[in-house]
Amino acid sequence: MLDEQVDLVLLTTEENMQKSVESLERELASVRTGRANPALLDSISIDYYGALTPLKQIASIGVVEGTQLLIKPFDKSTIKQIEHAINASDIGIAPQSDATGIRLVLPSLTGERRKEISKKVEKIGEDMKVAIRNIRRTANDEIKKLDMPEDAEKSALDEVQKLTDKYVKVLEEVTAAKIKEVQTI
């Protein structure tokens, strides 16, 4: 009975830690590097017929020449709204529109801008480490509530710590890879 409860706590803990890693990967995909990536626009939503709609649902987004994003709205009447939403966002790229779509030319990053982005990536990584530690704390609390023998409790807490170490290492690797990508000219 206790083993099943401990296994359930460990399974839930690992699932939650994995979700944190996936969340980090999604968030880092939207961080600008020197290359064009449609994920840069994932956070942009448009007021489309009264509903806030993600840009990727009302337009096709493609990469042109590696340094440009081409946005082709399915409904051409939304071009001005899309352009306004991009200007209001914090991606720092000025849109250029014509009758058929919007082009975003990504300027090359300066050394100073690369440092700023690297710091942002580090902060996002640190925030996710805090999330992992909070998951660990919740798991430890659940294990302590199980009222089990001291050695079994110690063993279960050690397992939670091993999971924590494993996922913190994964977070560090993902963050380091993104920083390297940002720093690469």
Do the domains 38-105 and 2-30+110-183 match in fold? no
38-105: CATH class: alpha beta
For domain 2-30+110-183, give the fold.
Topoisomerase I; Chain A, domain 4 (1.10.132)
3-state secondary structure of 133: helix
Domain ranges of the chain: 2-30+110-183, 38-105
Q: Has residue 75 got a pLDDT over 90?
A: no
Element (H or E) spanning 166, and its range? helix 150-183
pTM for this structure?
0.71
Determine the straight-line distance between the first and last CA of the chain, rounded to whole angstroms. 56
For 90, list phi and psi in degrees, rounded to 5. -100, 25
The pLDDT value given to residue 65: 81
The pLDDT value given to residue 1: 60
pLDDT tens for each residue of 114-143: 898 899 999 999 999 999 999 999 999 999
